[in-house]
Amino acid sequence: MRFETNIGHRITWSIDYTNIAKLEKLDRVKSKVIPGGGSGKDLRIASSLTDDGGEAVLKDMDDRDQAFSQIVGFSEITWQIVW
């Protein structure tokens, strides 16, 4: 899986599916609704390669739920609902 810029298609970050240790949906509560202020839907991806559990948080992903489902499907990692 890799993330790249829209302009120039420069790779900004990548991780192999087998190295994903944790995948988590995050919802930020916004105190004000500001036009163009982002969705508040984030996705946290933690790597199993580093001792400190290196992680990246992808912020304001409008299609976060679709991305989550695709990552779970391709990576074959297990997941659970946490209330």
Contact 64, 42 (CB under 8 A): yes
**What architecture is the 2-75 domain classified under in CATH?**
Roll (2.30)
| pLDDT on residue 80 | 76
The token duo for 69 is 């489902």
The mean pLDDT of 12-31, rounded to a whole number, is 83
Question: In this predicted model, what pLDDT tens digit does every residue of 16-25 receive, in sequence order?
Answer: 888 888 889 9
| pLDDT on residue 30 | 64
The mean pLDDT of 23-33, rounded to a whole number, is 78
pLDDT confidence tier of residue 49, bands split at 50, 70 and 90: confident
Asked whether the predicted pLDDT for residue 66 surpasses 90, the reply is: yes
Which range has the top average pLDDT, 27-36, 46-55, 67-76?
67-76
| pLDDT on residue 3 | 75
Q: Quote the distance between the C-alpha of residue 69 and its chain's center.
A: 11
Of the candidates 12, 10, 22, 26, the residue with the CA atom closest to the CA atom of residue 71 = 22
